[in-house]
Structure 1
């Protein structure tokens, strides 16, 4: 019961934070991808495991994510990593990963009584290499993540965890937002879309 209350509270907070914006209409796949990423606080990141007994097989974990402060979407997923995390260790061996974000977190799907698995509750898959953020981008990555995940500022003060900022260099965008299968989106369309 407490988990349900916390989940609903987080969804309402994110919906309020995004201004309660409605999703783009079906068919505007690039805008949908940007909308879903910008209105999410977390996603599932899949890597190739380096750890026995599942070495070489898929492994997935959840991570907080931000593509920019509220109202300043870049389309680039920023993450906050510690090398103590299993997925981060996997990415050091093979940086290619897929990030899944779902519209369910915004609260919109629940408001129209759609199950999280309902295809109309949009899901976005972003695939590419996850790399450390270059030094000249660190301030923006920090602002993007800390403004949406304030607790991270406290984690940053934990020297033993060696936290650092990372981002995905997107190579593929795939959107499912309706019945009948998903749609690939070109990187050009994705980055020029307005969420």
Structure 2
């Protein structure tokens, strides 16, 4: 058991869930897919509908999955409850940005890079948050529950009315080196074979 735990931790520290090192600098679409697939959480920004922040950007941390470890799709899936203030914001205005950092994989730490170091990749996805269609619900459930097993207990809390959502990506911003960020088209992002 101890050996299994050490192996999992070592894999995470060496390059994240997928067990591989990040793509080279300059391959922005591949870097975006790498970070999105290797992160279990990020910061979701909405436009607040609640006082005293009404009309201002508001961020909140959410668990995420783009698919099971062996089947990343690039699509961020979420498990939302309408009781959450960010979810309430998104019901009024579905436009959102979702930020993730390579710091979670352990790679940046192994390189002695701070989370703010430009070489520690940061990805910002922008688009609309929509309810997952019924024919995609089983995939979303497997994507999220395989990475976040505790969610299987959340679904039992009927009063919270959890449901599956995803981001329809419109823009991808990547910062993975000095000199400023880069825009990746959704088409290039989804064409990457992880």
For the aligned pair, the TM-score class normalised by the smaller chain equals over 0.9
Find the counterpart in structure 2 of residue 43 from structure 1: 42
Label 1:14 to 1:61 Cα distance change in 2 as closer, same or farther (>3 A).
Answer: farther
Calculate the TM-score normalised by the size of structure 2: 0.92
**Aligned 8 A contact 2:121 2:177 in 1:** yes
Find the counterpart in structure 2 of residue 95 from structure 1: 94
Query: What 5-or-longer segments of structure 2 have no aligned partner?
Result: 1-7
- 1:19, distance to aligned residue in structure 2 (A): 4.4
**Aligned 8 A contact 2:11 2:19 in 1:** no
Label 1:92 to 1:80 Cα distance change in 2 as closer, same or farther (>3 A).
Answer: same
RMSD: 1.5
Find the counterpart in structure 1 of residue 154 from structure 2: 155
State how 1:15-164 maps to structure 2 within 5 Å.
15=13, 18-164=17-163
**Aligned 8 A contact 1:174 1:184 in 2:** yes
- 1:194, distance to aligned residue in structure 2 (A): 2.3
- 1:20, distance to aligned residue in structure 2 (A): 2.8
- 1:14, distance to aligned residue in structure 2 (A): 4.2
**Aligned 8 A contact 1:103 1:122 in 2:** yes
What number of residue pairs does the alignment pair up? 186
Query: What 5-or-longer segments of structure 1 have no aligned partner?
Result: 1-9
Structure 1 residue runs of 4+, over 4 Å off?
Answer: 10-17
Distance 1:149 1:13 in 2: 18
Calculate the TM-score normalised by the size of structure 1: 0.92
Label 1:11 to 1:93 Cα distance change in 2 as closer, same or farther (>3 A).
Answer: farther
Find the counterpart in structure 1 of residue 4 from structure 2: none
Label 1:12 to 1:148 Cα distance change in 2 as closer, same or farther (>3 A).
Answer: farther
Provide Cα deviations, 1:115-167, integer angstroms capped at 9, x if missing partner. Answer: 00000000000000001100000000000000000000000110000000000
Distance 2:135 2:47 in 1: 29
- 1:15, distance to aligned residue in structure 2 (A): 4.5
